[in-house]
Amino acid sequence: MAKAQKSGSMKVAVWLIVIVFCALAAVFYTFREPIGGYAEVGTSYAARVACSCRFVSGRSLDDCEKDKLGGMELVTLVDDVDAKSVTARFPLVTANTATYREGFGCVLEKWER
């Protein structure tokens, strides 16, 4: 009797996991355009500001992390000192790079749309 209850509990748990996964997939599919838009804008902003912080102001990338706005915790920054650029990434969605150009400051790379 205990094995039957354990087996039944496992089936319920598996079905709950499947239902939660499907619900999350449906939510992400429904809101994919706003999520992608916010991610694109957020990474563009973060790359541009961090590039200016890093290569115009001369601060460290760790110090530039403090300049990110609230809600941008998932955006990661990576700098390329040789290319004088900073890339901001939002996991599994998008990435944007800003490069320092003498006389222009930090400029975003062209978007591939």
Please tell me the predicted confidence (pLDDT) of residue 34: 82
Place of tokens 């901001």: 88
Residue 7 domain-assigned (yes or no): no
Q: Which domain holds residue 102?
A: 31-108
pTM: 0.73
How many domains does the structure of the chain reveal? 1
* Residues 57-68 pLDDT 10s: 999 999 999 888
Residue 26 domain-assigned (yes or no): no
Q: Are 75 and 42 in contact (CB under 8 A)?
A: yes
Residue 24 domain-assigned (yes or no): no
**Farthest CA pair distance, the chain:** 78
Place of tokens 């599994």: 92
Residue 22 domain-assigned (yes or no): no
* Residues 71-86 pLDDT 10s: 889 999 999 999 999 9
